[in-house]
Amino acid sequence: MFDAHPNLAIGNVLTPPSPATSGTTLVLRSGQGLPFEPNMPATLAPADQMPTAATSEIVYVTAVDGDALTVLRAQEGTTAKQVRSDWAVYGSATAKTFTDLEEAVLATAPATELAAHVSNLANPHQVTKTQVGLGNVDNTNDASKPISTATQTALDTKATASALAAHTANVSNPHAVTKTQIGLENVDNSSDMNKPVSTAQATALNLKADANYLGPIHGQENIPDTFLRMERTIDPNKYKGLGGTKCVVPTSDPISADGEVTHPSVVYTPEKWNGYYYWMAATPYASSNDAYEDPIILASNDGLAWEVPAGLTNPLDDRPGGTQYNSDTHLVFGPNNVLYVFWRYLDTSGASSGSEEKIYVRTSTNGVTWTTKQLVYQSDQTVRRILSPSFYFYSGVWHMWGVDIVGTKRVVYATATSLTGVWSTPVDCTVTLPASRYPWHLFVSRVGDQWVGLLNDTSNTGATGQNGDLILMTSLNGTAWNVASAPCVPRAGTGYTVQYRSSFVPKVVNGIWGLDLWHAVRSPNYVYRTNLSCIVSPDDAGYVATSSIAAGANAGHAVTFAAGLFTEPPVVTATSTNGRLNIALDLATLTKTGVTINAYNWTTASAGSARIYWRATQR
């Protein structure tokens, strides 16, 4: 057995053996025993002298315990020395090391003899078939082997091939199998067309959402071909909306008693996702205090009345405000029906110098339990400040848009294959706004074969949003945007001085495609829900409001088409939101410029106020 010979086993004696010339245990300085191993030679010598036969001693290490070495003294012809503290201990090769090698080499046979024996395929060891366990095997080839006794016995139990073929071809249920035997004892013998609606199907149908919604579902597209064709032909100027209905949010902390929230980002599923059709990410903003501006999650079944789902603790991230605050939430379904919530964090306290701007994400499979936050993106606030980041997973890639406010405000776009991976360098998008108007906040989603953006602009050149409107824009590649020439929901139509970061889902109302919109206003900071009706050129559409109509009474409502749109009287359709009213056109009044729509209350009770939605199409 060869001795151990580790590399660089060197140390200095801390505690010498006792007695110094015959003791067998010595202790090295702290940590120096680590390289040493049992069964190895070592040389003891004064630290300040070269080892010589007169001054040094070879020992043999038999055991190592931390920095303590147990040794055999005076090895290989050396004499025991008066070992003292600070003597050097060298784990080095000795004469025995080389002697062992020489003896091992001399004990081997010539390699040529071994090679000749190994290559001998003539059974040099005279191995017999009995020795390999085949003493009973006859030396016959496969083709000459007889039918064995066992084989013949097995063959005697087999049916003839013709009998088996006849039975196999019998398709008249020769085994008299019953539906119970195949696990279908509860199945009724009825055709598909005659099957009734089952109890489970009826229950599931009762849970279905309004079929008008066919927008992005769990991060995937589910838009009918008719809408896709419309999306390829309309421009964003054809979307129009009003102020809408104010949403009701919880008034408990951290939202505070006034119910002020902003940055709403809403997703919708046609079937309830963990008990709700709608989920919203937002930030409380009571009295515009950024100490409250932390990401929260709310849920709703009508898109208006919102609540905190049972078991969820808000906010998802709590910051003190001032020099360290959160803002700008974005909610979206990603791969595998996982819900992703993103938000922006700014730290100007000095604790994050050079990476003040950060974007975080948390994910959930049920809307209540959320993963630990992860950093998605960060930047130096003097280089890039991305406000209102908007994310969407499409074609295996994460897409990100935001508004960079370093220098001239502009929309930027970047991609990454993983949220925690490397993002492409953000590029400036082409977004043309009127003079003295600048992008401020942004929401982007995929609708049909286009990207659709909802831009909140500002008249302020600094790092604040003022006099904001909501402007719709579309893009095929995510960077070149077709921007509406006028707001889809102007602030003047809401009674508030500022429109803010908003979001939408595709929806159809009374046969007219549009976007269901949740838009934030300031100040105070509330969220409203409205619908943007989609008017497809050369069509026109809109609605008229009716007052209460008495039982059996009729009321005419004049509609005027867009000037110069039609060259002849168009085809007009109309519906009402009130089931008590029958809607009919007064065809005698139909011209290329307008028509009168009659609303007749066919019931025995007064019909309350309603809306009549109409659409005119070129013949």
Residues 19-48 have pLDDT tens digits of 999 999 999 999 999 999 999 999 999 999
What pLDDT is stored for residue 244 in this prediction? 72
Give yes or no for residue 223 having a pLDDT over 70.
no
What is this structure's pTM?
Answer: 0.55
Distance CA 382, CA 599 (A): 61
What pLDDT is stored for residue 28 in this prediction? 96
What pLDDT is stored for residue 318 in this prediction? 93
Q: Where in the chain is the domain with CATH 2.40.30?
A: 10-104
Give yes or no for residue 146 having a pLDDT over 80.
yes
Largest CA-CA distance found in the chain, in angstroms, rounded = 132
Question: At residue 387, what are phi and psi to the nearest 5 degrees?
Answer: -90, 155
Question: For residue 212, what are its two tokens?
Answer: 């008008």
- List all residues 6 or more positions away from 316 whose beta carbon is below 8 Å from its beta carbon: 294, 295, 296, 297, 341, 343, 362, 370, 373
Choose between 554 and 159: higher pLDDT: 554
What is the average pLDDT score of the chain?
85
* pLDDT (average), residues 5-21: 94
| DSSP letters spanning 31-60 | TTTTT--SSEEEEEE-TTS---TTT-EEEE
* pLDDT (average), residues 49-70: 94
User: By the 8 A CB rule, do 497 and 491 touch?
Assistant: yes
What pLDDT is stored for residue 495 in this prediction? 58
Question: For residue 434, what are its two tokens?
Answer: 């009127």
What kind and span of H or E run contains 460? none
Question: For residue 520, what are its two tokens?
Answer: 């934030």
Distance CA 587, CA 252 (A): 55
Tally helices (H) and strands (E) across the chain.
Answer: 6, 33
Q: Which residue has the tokens 């992860």?
A: 374
In percent, the amount of the chain with pLDDT more than 90 equals: 48
Distance CA 236, CA 431 (A): 13
What pLDDT is stored for residue 509 in this prediction? 52
What pLDDT is stored for residue 530 in this prediction? 66
Give yes or no for residue 279 having a pLDDT over 90.
yes
Give yes or no for residue 442 having a pLDDT over 90.
yes
Question: What is the pLDDT confidence band of residue 218, given thresholds at 50, 70 and 90?
Answer: very low
Question: At residue 491, what are phi and psi to the nearest 5 degrees?
Answer: -65, -30
User: By the 8 A CB rule, do 214 and 220 touch?
Assistant: no
Q: Where in the chain is the domain with CATH 2.120.10.10?
A: 230-534
Residue 224, preceding peptide bond in cis (omega within 30° of 0):
no
Give the closest residue to 388 by CA, choosing from 362, 421, 418, 410: 410
CATH number of 540-617, picked from 2.60.40.2080, 2.40.160.40, 1.10.3720.10, 3.30.2290.10? 2.60.40.2080
* pLDDT (average), residues 349-372: 94
Give yes or no for residue 232 having a pLDDT over 60.
no
Give yes or no for residue 269 having a pLDDT over 80.
yes
Choose between 194 and 506: higher pLDDT: 506
- Torsion, Cα 201 202 207 213, to 10 degrees, reads 80
Give yes or no for residue 157 having a pLDDT over 70.
yes
Question: What is the pLDDT confidence band of residue 206, given thresholds at 50, 70 and 90?
Answer: very low
What pLDDT is stored for residue 332 in this prediction? 97
219 Rama sector, left if φ>0, alpha if ψ -120 to 50, beta otherwise: left
b/e burial code for range 195-208 (CB count within 10 A of at least 16 → b) = eeeeeeeeeeeeee
CATH code: domain 10-104 is 2.40.30
Give yes or no for residue 460 having a pLDDT over 80.
no
What pLDDT is stored for residue 209 in this prediction? 40
- List all residues 6 or more positions away from 133 whose beta carbon is below 8 Å from its beta carbon: none
Work out the end-to-end distance of the chain between its first and last CA atoms, rounded to an integer number of angstroms. Answer: 103
What pLDDT is stored for residue 239 in this prediction? 67
592 Rama sector, left if φ>0, alpha if ψ -120 to 50, beta otherwise: alpha
Ranges of beta strands (E only) in 348-409 are 357-364, 374-379, 386-394, 397-404
Q: Where in the chain is the domain with CATH 2.60.40.2080?
A: 540-617
Give yes or no for residue 524 having a pLDDT over 80.
no
Give yes or no for residue 161 having a pLDDT over 90.
no
Question: Which segment of 34-38, 290-294, 331-335, 514-518 scores lowest on mean pLDDT?
Answer: 514-518
Give the closest residue to 440 by CA, choosing from 404, 391, 493, 485: 404
Distance CA 355, CA 351 (A): 9
CATH fold of 230-534:
Neuraminidase (2.120.10)
